[in-house]
Structure 1
């Protein structure tokens, strides 16, 4: 989750859209005593989610905003595609209802999900402290990642053209050529950071960007977002060792490091940069 946008016009517009979505889907915002004031904002206010009671009982109503020219495509249809194609043993909130509408140059999409009783493990993608997670949670995560990797889809989370362009640029500090062709491709959630994982009962949230990626991508991304807490980073390496210790897993780590170094250049998660650069040397060095 991200912070409430600084622009009050965006905040007002998204809250008004959320109220309109409640009316369209027959949902009622939860009162403050029931946690109804809790808001989950997306990047730069692109999405807003809140608890709501709808036709299927307690739920979560999420509104997505786009300009007319950007509406549609992978991010727009990701949750519906996941509901249709991803097996139910990959734990996630069920998507019940979807509505879309336009207001001038703005397009909105409302999605009504099952309520997830347990919240995200931390409130932000980057881990800040050791989470208390059970062996069953970790076992469920391994099963989910493995099951998802076999799903057949024409959706794409990471493109080869991006790897060819970005990896030489953002890994130049290594001082040696870095291969850009993955050993294998598989299907990934594509945004498996800590704010998209609920616990203690495992549930995987936010299915906008899922699709094919270098094999091991999800495990590598979770590990990268754990680097600020070395104890948990080591736990991720241990629990997902069958993925991360492989040639494909090491390559996926380098891909994720490339992406996060690029996003840090834009101001995101700069605190991870030293650890990312160190890890890049560890997984891509001679003999690896």
Structure 2
């Protein structure tokens, strides 16, 4: 990947910049600041074995740039370049620099954060805009929900209300105190409440913030449709716990929360609000 980054510099007329690199899961991506002739940019390098450079994750950022309205705060994709070498496919993506840092370096929050009310209203607006984007992309497949949610939660989902979602809404993909939504690989259709549920579950180690997320999105989470989104997000975390250390640490809290969702008292409370 470091050699491929040097190749991307040559292809795109870039030079390195201070600040280090950011590695993605299992070394599949490599990102960092770079200098272009007209100013600083952010370079994101993606790799796949030859013949695999296609599909949802590969195409997600490019399709998001075309489909998402300007009202959704995100780093704008300004350039792409693909090449293949030594049995691997690479894609170099150039983005505008985002000067506001992520709320957390880890997807799972481990510290208290103080976000202004405008941040929360901007997040509501962004998710509303995303929900209205028509797409045939799938962030979560119905087959997965029907098969895996009962396996990991003991609950058989009923009717699913679909909407368009960011698909990976956690604290490392959100900047603050000025909001930007990062990482558009996995966007597509998902159960209602899926994005809000993901943010809530990734907040569980910080109870005050988890409560704030829950309150902000109670209108969707405290409904039967939102419950399916929450069960789906929880299932994905529990399934990933076997291979991702920070999800292994989060798994017990997620199980306890899902147990609460299944309790008769919680069901009665949702019915009263609904």
TM-score of the aligned structures, taking structure 2 as reference length? 0.93
Match of 1:29 in 2: 16
Runs of 4+ aligned residues of structure 1 deviating over 6 Å after TM superposition are: none
Q: CA RMSD in A?
A: 1.3
For 1:76 and 1:234, locate their aligned partners in 2 and report how far apart those are by CA, in whole Å: 35
Match of 1:38 in 2: 20
**CA offsets, 1:137-180, max 9 Å, x none?**
111001111110110001011001111111121113xxxxx232
Matches within 5 A, 1:192-203: 192-203=169-180
For 1:83 and 1:230, locate their aligned partners in 2 and report how far apart those are by CA, in whole Å: 35
Task: Tell whether 2:170 aligns with 1:190.
Answer: no
Query: The residue matched to 2:186 in structure 1 has which SS?
Result: coil
Match of 2:248 in 1: 270
Query: The residue matched to 1:203 in structure 2 has which SS?
Result: coil
Residue 69 of structure 1 deviates from its aligned partner by: 2.8
Match of 1:213 in 2: 190
Residue 227 of structure 1 deviates from its aligned partner by: 0.5
How many pairs are equivalent? 265
Residue 20 of structure 1 deviates from its aligned partner by: 1.2
Tell me: CA distance 1:28–1:255, structure 2 relative to 1, closer, same or farther (3 Å). same
Tell me: CA distance 1:49–1:182, structure 2 relative to 1, closer, same or farther (3 Å). farther
Matches within 5 A, 1:233-244: 233-244=210-221
Matches within 5 A, 1:115-154: 115-154=97-136
Query: The residue matched to 2:215 in structure 1 has which SS?
Result: helix
Tell me: CA distance 1:82–1:56, structure 2 relative to 1, closer, same or farther (3 Å). farther
Match of 2:237 in 1: 260
In structure 2, runs of 5+ residues without a counterpart are none
Task: Tell whether 2:257 aligns with 1:279.
Answer: yes
Task: Tell whether 2:210 aligns with 1:223.
Answer: no
For 1:132 and 1:283, locate their aligned partners in 2 and report how far apart those are by CA, in whole Å: 27
Match of 1:17 in 2: 4
**CA offsets, 1:168-214, max 9 Å, x none?**
21113xxxxx2324430000010011100111110000000100001
**CA offsets, 1:104-126, max 9 Å, x none?**
21000000000000111110100
Residue 98 of structure 1 deviates from its aligned partner by: 0.2
Residue 54 of structure 1 deviates from its aligned partner by: 1.8
